[in-house]
Chains A and B, each alone.
Chain A
Amino acid sequence: MSAIQLTSKTINGQSVAYLTFDLPNEKVNKLSTPVMLELRTHLENLKSSNHKMIVFQSAKPKIFIAGADIEEIKNLKTKEDVQNAVKNGQSIFNLIEDMPMPTMALINGACAGGGCELILACDYRIATEDSSTRIGLPETQLGILPGFGGCVRLPRVVGLQAALDVILAGKLLNAKKAHKIGLVDNVVHPNLLENFAVDQIGKILADGAQKRRKKFQPRGPVGKLLEGVLSGVVFKKAKDGVLKATKGHYPAPLAALEVIRKTHGSVDRERSLQIERDHFADCAVTDVSKNLIHVFYLTEMVKKQTGVANQSVKGKPVKHIGVLGAGTMGGGIAYVAADKGIDVRVKDISLDANAKALKHARDLWNKLAKKRVIDSYQFTQKMSLVSTTVDFSGFKNIDVTIEAIVEDMSIKKKVIAQTAAEMRPDAIVVTNTSSLSVTEMSAGHPRPENFAGMHFFSPVHKMPLVEVIRSPKSSDETIATVFELAKKMGKMPVVVKDGPGFLVNRLLLPYMAEAAFLLSEGMDIEKVDKSFVYEFGMPMGPFELMDSVGLDVCLKVLKIFKAAFPDRVEIPTLMEKLETNKSRLGQKSALGFYKYDEGGRKTEVDGAIYSELGLAAPTNPLTLQECTERCVFAMVNECALALDADRIVETPHEVDLAMIMGTGFPPFRGGLLKYADAVGAKYIADQLLKYSSERKANRLRPSVKLAERAASSLKFYN
């Protein structure tokens, strides 16, 4: 079966060829090697045909062409292989560009990467206004760059500035935006696409079937300068922007920028494409690219999962949710749910508390409204979805209630029992606890099969991860419902077994505690944090992280851990000392390791903290390598136990997804265990052993499970 059908149509008495992409047995069209080969054959034949025009379209309902085959890119090992593959693609798109007759693309649905590069090689482009129509070049998100002529053709079509925006951020544009920057010529309703195109083709044929090489015309004198002699300014600004956003950890956007800088305005197509090809090949073989592709697959994996092994189990529909507790977490949960169209009823004990949740949500939507992401009607609609109560009125209509009240087992149990009594028997209650046992808590619910954990991360509207915590009594249906609800709320759910700290906090705790030890050993707070951000690539260093979690919360959870794992958890005395100062609770009290302004923004390290903790001025006796390794390897060490011994999650994939989505673990490293595999379990175990003896730190001794992997050289990913 072929992926491209050739048909023809007579328009104004002249023959027009239609190439329709429809990859058999697949939901999407992609430009895999066989498809590209087929395309080449068609083009070679059409070149000398008597068709007066060629039209590219897709038969898939919501997809034009989703891009190249990522699996193929992933499997390319050497630069030569990459060069050859890219060169082949480039030559096929050159064929399109060089066709003697004009070409037109009819775009309905996703048109990304190679798909976008294909339409750039055409003379005319018409898109539909359907919400599925998204056009752009997301390659840099995967650690590569547009390689089929995208870096060369896009700046010519839409101008330098717009092209840099599209390529460097790797975001897709809707039809309206694409039309605005000149990437497509017309935008029409999907039902009109075919007839509108026929009309346009009729006009083009009547005008003598001219080829067109669209060239961007800058508006105004400033525009002309920036696209011309002052383009250096544009490149400089773009480079600064990329470096600020990526801290230098992501080479692809810089490479793309370099390609565009070298080829902008050049008339030598072959040379330009050669430059694009070279840089593409450099990027494609990097670990960063392989890791980003890995992360892409992790997110695709969640889309397909249901949260339970038994695929016949379906989640219950959720239209209305309840949220207990109108604090930061409750307000955040209400916001993300209502933002996705779910009706939310927030319950707290006072009107003032409820008002805070409304304000929290309103402020976030207000920001979107100001940025024109939503209009005033959407603002009103979303806002109207959040209602509040101080009693349980309306709870009979609620399908799932998310409890986000104070972290106290007996209060939670009592409230869960109360809530269950006010809801329908088939309704579900979940707890957003971060530190308490979901299993123990489930005893509060009269039907524990309808109870589970749903752990959001703060700030809820930013952090994509949700840990769905399964107690031994949670039913498959409950887990599937909560998993689906998390996805509906735009989150990435990972199902975890109950256990202290579940997955993410269990791994983060040793990491943060280790940083506290570094401080007591004479390290400088900012120096350590900066090294984690700029060298390792974390979104924030461990000290800032502790501030954002709350220093009191950190200690509380550490104590829970100590009780659970007395032989390997050591509470830094420094953390206990910190507890005595009740005004130093972290970001929430505007003072922690750092000082914070009224807006909660970090200003500087609080110099007074060293003397307050009885520490001398930092002398930085340890290497930054040791600092990083002790903290990160402590996580790996704990993870080996969580995964191999306790089976908190089933696969390394889930660990990495959770760490990236929940803590911002650097995606370019592919996740904690991808990183561990790259470094090697043996190296990690050796280093931990060394540090544990050098620093007399029993907590750093390699765990049984890490030692096993080190001894057998068994990778986490097999």
Chain B
Amino acid sequence: MSSSAKTARDVVIVDGVRTPFAKAGTKLKSVHAAQLGQVALRELIARTNLNVELVDEVIVGNTGSPSDAVNISRVVALNSGIPIKTSAVTVHRNCASALESISSGFERIKSGTMDIIVAGGTENMSQMPLIMPVAITSIIERLGSAKTSAAKISALWAWLMADLKQIKEMATTAPLAKTKYKPIIALADGLTDPFVGMNMGMTAEVIAKEFGITRREQDEYALKSHQKAIAAKAKIKEEMTPLYLPPDFNETLTDDIGPRDNQTMEALQKLKPFFDKVTGSITAGNSCPITDGAAMMLLMSREKAESLGYKPIARIRGYGYAGLEPERMGMGPAYSTPIALKRAGLSMKDMGRVELNEAFAAQVLANQKAFDSDDFGKKLGLPGKIGELRTEILNVNGGAIAYGHPVGATGTRLVLTLMKEMKRSQTQFGLATLCIGGGQGGSLIIENEG
């Protein structure tokens, strides 16, 4: 095993905690992303009895950028009791935004610039807005700058006409079809590649076809994800804090809303392909649901953690990001993992546990094939295959197909779940990796210290 000596500037993870994740449009739909982040961070501070005065920076991943909290990291920090003096930055690397918060924190600490970082992510996908199209905003601008009553009346009339056209378009065109007057669905835009114009689901279709992943394989994988998640319910609770549901607090969310204990092959097989209606295999059942949630993590330099009396759970050994064709973004893990392994001085054989984000079952299965393929390895310029990604160590507690994928928070969730699982199973090394919309992969390797 390639364990290296502990050094003072090692970057360690003291602890982490997350909110329950809930499928978009359910229990967390009215809880602002900043509030989700605050619940997780307040609990993290409490569990670690952290002296908040010592925090150097708060780094939070988020992709939705709520318009009333554009640097949401600062909002989360202040509402969590982090001092005014402490800087806060929001990072965005699409699906790996929260992983970016950890890798950014890693660099700041490794370099000796900082010692204590809060790294996390938060996302409320239920609250992603509908945006007025330019055809309407330009009329509203005209109204605002109208000087005479005649100009005002003319603009108001134009607005009314545009609204009528909007209603007509909404009634007569497909829900996701873009038209001149219909409101733009921010969520749908976010899930569409801005370079090649392909929906994320369609990119998964590309991979499924190229790697020959069948519908049945995908559905079987999806079913297992739910089964594993249901079986791991008690274990997963360790990483969660209850969320009292505002505004009335009549209900408290203590479990994820996502894993189904009644999921069956029959039900999965019945679903129609969502993206490619004719030859496709990607369904709502074998993809991850749109989800709300937040997760936070406390990073420190080893010397600082020791001087404060903390016993870290893990140390970060290395990370890597890589780019690939946007239309094959799901293969990202196969591109970024060799980089992370090389930086960590480790190989796939060393990995005891792997969390690979389940954006789509097809993409997970394709990655498994790619990892084990000499041809694919050579294509990446490696001497041979990346290394086998064994099913027994992959997503042992289920993955995003069950838990969901709150885009800006998932990176933290993966590392958190991985780290706690490695502690329980006493495995030395683990990999957290995900595919990134826009055509990237991200990987982070940690070593168990718990």
Contact = CB atoms under 8 A, between A and B. Distances in A.
Interface of A: 343, 345, 351-352, 354-356, 358-359, 362, 366, 380-381, 383-385, 387-389, 393-397
Contacts of A351: 242, 244, 252, 254
Contacts of B242: 351
Contact of A358 (B35, B79, B249): B249
A355 B247 CA distance: 11
A516 B249 CA distance: 40
A355 B251 CA distance: 8
Contact of A355 (B51, B81, B252): B252
Contacts of A380: 35, 79
Interface centre among B49, B242, B247, B248 (most CB of A within 10 A): B49
B424 interface: no
Contact of B43 (A381, A387, A397): A387
Contact of B246 (A345, A362, A385, A393): A362
A86 B43 CA distance: 61
A591 B65 CA distance: 53
B249 A389 contact: no
B153 interface: no
A397 B38 contact: no
B249 A394 contact: no
15 contacts: A352-B252, A355-B250, A358-B244, A359-B249, A359-B250, A362-B247, A362-B248, A362-B249, A380-B79, A384-B80, A384-B81, A388-B244, A394-B46, A397-B45, A397-B50
Contact of B51 (A384, A389, A397): A397
Contacts, number: 55
Contacts of B250: 355, 359
B93 interface: no
Contacts of B49: 393-397
Contacts of B248: 359, 362
Nearest to A366: B247
- Which 7 pairs across A and B sit closest by C-beta, in order of nearness? A394-B46, A396-B49, A384-B79, A355-B249, A359-B249, A393-B46, A358-B249
B47 interface: yes
Contacts of A385: 81
Given A351-B254, A355-B250, A387 B42 contact: yes
A316 to B, nearest CB: 16
Contacts of A384: 35, 38, 42, 79-81
Contacts of A355: 244, 249-252
Interface string B27-51: 0000000010010001101110111
Contacts of B80: 384
Question: Which of B35, B244, B247 has the most CB atoms of chain A within a 10 A radius of its CB?
Answer: B244
A569 B433 CA distance: 75
A324 to B, nearest CB: 15
Contacts of A389: 46
A343 B47 contact: no
Interface in B126-148: none
A424 to B, nearest CB: 9
Contacts of A396: 49
Interface in B246-289: 246-252, 254
Given A355-B249, A359-B249, A381-B79, A394 B244 contact: no
Contacts of B246: 362, 383
Interface in B1-59: 35, 38, 42-43, 45-47, 49-51
B22 to A, nearest CB: 16
Nearest to A390: B242
Nearest to A356: B249
B252 A394 contact: no
A381 B50 CA distance: 20
A366 B247 CA distance: 10
Contacts of B81: 343, 384-385
Given A362-B246, A388-B244, 17 more contacts: A345-B46, A351-B242, A351-B252, A351-B254, A352-B252, A355-B250, A362-B247, A362-B248, A362-B249, A366-B247, A380-B35, A384-B79, A384-B81, A393-B49, A394-B46, A397-B46, A397-B50
A387 B81 CA distance: 11
Nearest to A354: B244
B163 to A, nearest CB: 29
Interface in B302-346: none
Nearest to A388: B244
Contacts of A352: 252
A356 B248 CA distance: 9
Contacts of B43: 387, 393
Nearest to A387: B42
